[in-house]
Structure 1
Amino acid sequence: MHLLGPDLDADALRALSRRLKAAAESGRPLDSELARRVQALHRALFQGELQGVLARLREASSGGPVLLRLMLQDADLQGFPWEALCEPGKDFEFLGNSASLLPVRGVRSPEPWQPREVRGAVRLLAVAPLHTHSLPRLQGTLHESLSSGEIEWLEPLTGPRARKAAFFERLRRQPEPHILHFIGHGGLHEGKPVLRLADEEDEESWVPVELLAQQLHGAWGKGPLRLIVLEACEGATPGPLASAAELLTRTAADAVVAYLWPVRMDVALRCSRAFYRALTRAAQQEGDVALSLNEARRGVLAELEGSAEAFSPVLYLRGRDPVLFDFKARRVSPPPTPALRAETSHPPQSLVRLLEQPFTLLLGDRWEEEEPSFRGLRERLQGELIQKTGHVSHELPLSTLAEHYALRIGQEELDYEFQEVFGQTEFMPPLLSLLARRLGAGVHITLLRLPVLEQSLAEHHPELTLYVIQPSSSADGHAVMMRREAGTSRWERLHKVPASLDTERDGVVLRLCSGYLPAHLFSRPLLTEDDYLLGIRGLSSLLPFELVDPIQGALSLRPLLLVGLSMLDWCHRMLLYQLFGRRTLQRGSMAVLDPGIHERELWEEGRGLPGRTGVRALESTDAELMRWLEALSAGRIG
């Protein structure tokens, strides 16, 4: 035992921890002063007898890495990012990415520890009670490991499946996972760690982590579960007794990866991709969780130019050995490809029937959420809010984040940030071109803030006169209108309602969320929570009086094809109600859903839909839907 020195007392460690956290939250590397401080702490810690013990352990390991178990009791010491300590004289030899030292937070537990023999794929169960959009991104990030058969993606728990009763019921059923990956909210309630599950009747539902750990132990304590990844706020934040990660490690799993501080979603995905690839790759005989997390941190440091965000993920370990999985008898084979499914080559007849008749397309904004360049808007808003307030959750929906930004920094600045990101991109989802070919005269609706639907319609239907209507954001009914005459390429802005508009002959695009119109004309978009609450009303108050009846008539007479929407997105539900009131959607309507969001029954049972009457729901990837549309256009089907 030795003292760190007078310059490294408890107050100094707390101050250093705060500075490291601030660097991580703003996505910055360590500045020269921070680098000097973490090197000084490394020098003060590894000296005297400890340095001698470490040298002997390295010698005994025959060149392999040495496990450094930090048995921390004090809350300040538990919350300190020891992984950021850097070897003096080196710029990037941090403990968190070291090839020779593997730092873990040791947990004392009476529960036995042993590696789990895995003969095939490592089974992963993802739980995302509120962040449905995170699941396709996580699944996409793990594509390489999933397609090789190294990881098996179990049916995730989200929405109603992630309510307390349904979650606990899932613990009684097969297949049992080797890894549980939780994406959501965490916190402290009266000093005790809690996690938020799916809401019960619009009431927030929080479960004490101690109780959850007991449930997991009772269900899977003797089963294959070895690892929990806790992608939640304050997952590694110590309470008066323990953090959520420590409680879960004591009782529920041999190891828990958790985050000291919030990180950007794309950083968490980078970390998950590298971590799971290192942990489960088929070429190795064992899955070493500590070695894999160090490798993941190294990847984040390299890809993000030394960002301090790499030090947020930390590892809690129950035993003395970080090897969780024994792969010696493993045989990995790729899973059956989706192309073997019957519906992959032949679309459902219900979709064929819909596409063969006049229909209305309602296009959601899912692609904007997934587009990497548009995620830059979220990062810009978060970065400025952190500078302004010192902290902002990285899990806020974009509408909530934008609301915070507008209130604290200003609406004009928000408009500027939107134009900086959206006004300088060539965004065009490939699926839209194929959808536009199937469209004709009538009313179509887009929630995208860029005019990609209008552009696709103009390209594929030069014979149509096209009208674009952007409803007024105020009660004056002064909608913005544009027209492109058949056979021309020029868009003109209209200053009065055209007497010749005929929804049976012309194409009409309603732009409900505003943004950019054709010819790059900017209009303030619906972006904040107040925008949706105050700017969305029924069509009768959004449109000029002369257009209300023809447009409502067109919407009520044709079936809808809904693409890129989620029933769990409150903005989408609100827009549907404003369009249709309490009227049910036309018979034959269909929602095409991303397979990763698992909300088919919500659409089919009509929960959250106008009129509470369901529609057909088809789960399909964009690639699969594109193949069907191409086959229909070529006359190979139907």
Structure 2
Amino acid sequence: MQKQGISSVCMEIELARDGAELRVRARGSREESTSSHRLAPPLTADIRRFTAEVREAAGRGRPLGSLLATAHALHGALFRDEVATLRARLHEAAGGEPVLLRLAISDADLKAVPWEALCEPSSAMGFWGSSPDLLPARSVTTNEPWQPREVRGAVKVLAVAPSGGATLERLEGALGERIASGEVEWRDPLVGAAASLDLLRERLRRESPHVLHFLGHGRVWDGIPEIQLADAHGEEQWLPAELLGQDLKASLRGDLRLIVLEACKGAQPGAFASAAETLARSGADAVIGHLWPVDAEVARRCSEQLYRALAGREQGRGDVARSLNQARWSILAAFGGSAEAFSPVLYLRAPRSALFDFAGRSVVKPQAAVPARGGARAVDPALERLRRRPFSLVLGDRLKSERPALEGFRERLLKEIDRPPGAAPPGLPMSALAQRFALRCGADTLEAEFQHVFRAAAAIPPLFAALAQSLGPGVHTTLLRTPVLEQALAEHQPDRRIYAIQPDRESTVVLLREAGGARWERLAGNSPSIDPEEDIVVLRLYRGFRPDAAFSPPLLTEDDYLLGFRELEKALPPESADDILDTLASEPALLMGLSLHLWDHRMLLYRLFGKRPLPRRSLAVVEPEDGERELWEKGTSLPGKEGIAVIEASAEEVGVWLSEGADGGRR
């Protein structure tokens, strides 16, 4: 397709109250200026009725119908005399490209008017909001500098959805074609408790999205527009849009160019439009807000067409005004001319509507599943997606490679207690078996038996070598009582600083292997500040043999699991606790060697993630014969009661898959 041109021709219409009348004045981008003319009171009353009736038509999904006559009349009243002459000259100067129409409005009632629904006389569908020749935007004045952002690859979109659910799925589905083509990069959304201001701030510090897309509720409280986010517990938290704008200033001076405020059905009419203006005044180049909530399918169509036009590879620049006009046109065509098309409005701080510079852009499709060597199954697409971005590993003690040692330990315990009195019932869980042994023989004897079985050093299994090469900086959790993961990381990532954190009975042990170092050193007193963006952090939550060869009594019995480790936050070094918890809350988790049939594993997940759902795109790997796929997908026993994706594969297969792209998860 031929690239669309970018016009620098702009026209601004100033609308202001003058008693009972409305004053209209226009300026052009070539320093032209018109004298003002007035709209008489009868037409001003028509504007009020028009606003209410267009909103009502939108709420019912109906076209303008009889309101079209008013749309014609208002259009004619604005574009007359000197204003009409100026418009004609600017169209000629634009050389066939559309003219950006900036509406400068200070009156609150006039801001609620769907000006985008005004229509060219003698036309049934010549609306401003879908015109190929006129691109309406609400003007915002600010002293913040502006320039289009150069984008060499995909347009990065970060969604914030405190309520998650179908609304978020719908947005991702609407962007599916753009994501598959490589034109849009879908960043892991902030959902539930992760949609808090602190975590949003942290994500924006670590990443550089071009578009921030809010899905949720808005309101105007005591005259102040507010947006709903979440607190650390996933409960709703209302934040003034101005405060959010101040918090976003650093990102708005970087890559972030566009904020989209998509209102859910419960949003107060006009709240997101008011918030949009506030955010634009705070420095956002462009903000799309809604005058009223719209049907879910209409919202899907709007997002689909907006991003198709904004990020399409045929574009020379991402022109947000042109893209929104195309999205409105698509809604009108697909939904019988529904007035819902006029709900999304654009607030524009920038002097031009082209937000992105795509000169020199190279779009690359995301890689599909990679065939494994040796005739094995191809890499599962879910794992392929996960390993190509930062993720947190949660490694359980039910891996097949660990089962022989556990079974040997079980046999040693059974020799002592599998006889009267109190013989162990068949199939007794390991924690219950260890509890009986400790009650009968003592905790010291139980620990001695454990050391006898697990002390022997073994070669690092291929799975751990593959994991160690695939893991990037971040926070990873192991329930293994031997330090095989830490040893593999030290061997395969010698230039990375690695921390091992182990909550013991009385205190927390922090071990450090410096980059290029040969030893693990125990840190005394206050630990240095840990940076999960640069360092690998391993949480050793079930204790046992440490990477420095020391032994710490492991969690084995029911009492150990119940009493030995309660709150993760209190077990972490105070200087780094927030960074570690934020990483766990925001990065998707790869869960291996865990079973939802084991109560200690279920308890562990709640201690890691609290009551919030596991981060979006988290993935559980289950052995095919374990039959737990449905449990993980339904999520009844998981935090937040939300299921996650599952792949059924052996540890050997996962090791092969990871070794095929060992740098996929590295940062």
The TM-score, its normalising length taken from structure 1, stands at 0.55
Give the 5 Å matches for 1:70-85: 70-85=103-118
Counterpart mapping for 1:83-122 below 5 A = 83-122=116-155
CA contact (8 A) 1:130 1:197 kept: no
Displacement of 1:163:
2.2
Secondary structure at the counterpart of residue 380 of structure 2: helix
CA distance in 1, matches of 2:234, 2:203: 22
In structure 2, what residue type is equivalent to 1:188?
V
Is the CA contact (8 Å cut-off) linking 1:288 and 1:322 kept in structure 2? yes
Structure 2: distance between partners of 1:283 and 1:110: 32
Structure 1 residue 243: deviation in Å?
1.6
Distance 1:326 1:202, change over 3 A: closer
1:344 aligns with 2:377: no
1:124 has 2:150 as partner: no
Alignment partner, residue 28 of structure 1? 62
Distance 1:12-1:173 versus aligned 2 partners, 3 A rule: same
Q: Please say which of residues 39-48 and 196-205 is displaced more in the overlay.
A: 196-205
| Cα contact 2:105–2:139 (8 A) shared by 1 | yes
Q: Is the 8 A contact 1:79 1:238 kept in 2?
A: no
Cα distance between partner residues in 1 of 2:205 and 2:100: 35
Aligned CA distance change for structure 1 residues 164 and 320 (closer, same or farther; 3 Å): closer
1:151 to 184, 194, 197: 184
**Residue 300 of structure 1: CA displacement?**
0.4
Q: Mapping of 1:268-347 within 5 angstroms?
A: 268-338=299-369, 343-344=379-380
Equivalent of 2:263, from 232, 243, 248? 232
2:104 pairs with 1:68: no
Q: Given the superposition, is the C-alpha separation of residues 5 and 592 from structure 1 closer, same or farther in structure 2, using an over 3 Å criterion?
A: farther
Q: Percent identity?
A: 48
Paired with 2:146 and 2:116, the residues of 1 have a C-alpha distance of: 24
Say if 1:255 and 1:202 are closer, same or farther in 2 by CA, change over 3 A. closer
Counterpart secondary structure, 2:105: coil
Equivalent position SS for 2:54: helix
CA, structure 1 residues 121+556, in 2 after alignment: closer, same or farther (shift >3 Å)?
Answer: closer
Give 1:198's aligned residue.
230
What's the counterpart of residue 212 of structure 2?
Answer: 180
Alignment of 1:198-217 (within 5 A): 198-201=230-233, 203-217=235-249
Query: Is the Cα contact below 8 Å between 1:119 and 1:329 reproduced in 2?
Result: yes
Work out whether residues 192 and 234 of structure 2, in 8 Å CA contact, stay in contact via their aligned partners in 1: no
How far the C-alpha of 1:347 sits from its partner, in A, is: 9.8
Q: What amino acid sits opposite 2:43 in the alignment?
A: L
AA aligned to 1:267 is V
SS of the residue aligned with 2:238?
Answer: strand
Partner Cα separation in structure 2 for residue 306 and residue 238 of structure 1: 24
Which residue of structure 1 lines up, in the alignment, with residue 194 of structure 2? 161
Q: Could you say if the C-alpha distance between residues 195 and 49 of structure 1 is closer, same or farther in structure 2, counting changes exceeding 3 Å?
A: same
**Any conservation in 2 of the 1:289–1:323 contact (CA below 8 Å)?**
yes
- Structure 1 pair 206/6, CA: closer, same or farther in 2 (3 Å)? closer
2:89 matches 1:48: no
Q: Aligned-pair distance for 1:285?
A: 1.2
Question: Aligned in 2, Cα 1:201/1:55: closer, same or farther, shift over 3 Å?
Answer: same
Question: What is aligned with 2:10?
Answer: none
Partner SS state of residue 302, structure 1: helix
Structure 1 counterpart of 2:136, one-letter code: P
Q: Where in structure 2 are the equivalents of 1:210-609 lying within 5 Å?
A: 210-218=242-250, 220-232=251-263, 237=270, 243-338=274-369, 343-344=379-380, 589-590=628-629, 606-607=638-639
Change (3 A) 1:74 1:160: same
| Inter-partner Cα distance in structure 1 for 2:63 and 2:145 | 40
Shift of 1:252: 3.8
Give me the whole-angstrom Cα distance separating, in 2, the residues matched to 1:30 and 1:44. Answer: 19
In terms of Rg, which structure is larger?
A: 2
TM-fit CA distance, 1:339: 5.4
Distance 1:139 1:7, change over 3 A: same
Residue 588 (structure 1) shift:
7.2
Look up the equivalent residue of 1:18 and give its one-letter code: A
CA contact (8 A) 1:592 1:618 kept: no
Q: Would the aligned equivalents of 1:58 and 1:65 in 2 still touch at CA under 8 Å?
A: yes
Superposed CA deviations along residues 62-94 of structure 1, whole A, max 9, x for unmatched, are: 111001000100011111000000111110000
Bigger mean CA deviation after superposition, 153-162 or 343-352: 343-352
* Equivalent of residue 18 in structure 1, options 44, 49, 52: 52
Note the C-alpha offset of 1:200.
Answer: 4.8
How many Å apart are 1:125 and its aligned residue?
A: 0.3
Stretches of structure 2 lacking an aligned partner (at least 5 in a row): 1-35, 373-377, 385-394, 401-595, 600-608, 614-625, 651-667
TM-score by length of 2: 0.53
In structure 2, distance between residues paired with 1:230 and 1:105:
15
Asked if structure 2 preserves the Cα contact closer than 8 Å seen for 1:227 and 1:255, the reply is yes
Specify which of 645, 650, 656 is matched with residue 619 of structure 1. 645
Q: How far did 1:317 drift?
A: 0.3
Note the C-alpha offset of 1:12. 2.8
**CA drift at 1:236:** 8.0
Deviations 1:118-139 (A, max 9, x none): 0000000011011332222211
| CA distances 1:513-562 after superposition (whole Å, capped 9, x unpaired) | xxxxxxxxxxxxxxxxxxxxxxxxxxxxxxxxxxxxxxxxxx9999xxxx
Query: Cα–Cα, structure 1 residues 273 and 346, in superposed 2: closer, same or farther, change >3 Å?
Result: closer
Matched residue SS, 1:282: coil
Deviations 1:574-601 (A, max 9, x none): xxxxxxxxxxxxx97455767xxxxx9x
- Residue aligned with 2:361, SS: coil
Determine the C-alpha separation between the residues in 1 that align with 2:318 and 2:235. Answer: 40
Cα deviations by residue, 1:239-296 (Å, 9 ceiling, x for unpaired): 9xx9200111122420011111110111111000001000111112111110010011
AA partner of residue 607 (structure 1): P
Q: 1:141 Cα shift?
A: 1.2
Structure 1 distance, partners of 2:359, 2:290, is: 31
Task: Give secondary structure in 1 for the equivalent of 2:315.
Answer: coil
Give the drift of 1:346. Answer: 11
Does the 8 Å CA contact 2:140/2:349 hold for their aligned counterparts?
yes
Inter-partner Cα distance in structure 2 for 1:52 and 1:20:
29
Describe the shift of the 1:591–1:618 C-alpha distance in structure 2 as closer, same or farther (beyond 3 A). farther
Distance of aligned partners of 1:217 and 1:591 in 2 relative to their CA distance in 1, 3 Å threshold: farther
Could you tell me how far 1:116 is from its partner in structure 2? Answer: 0.4
For residue 140 of structure 1, what is the amino acid of its counterpart? G
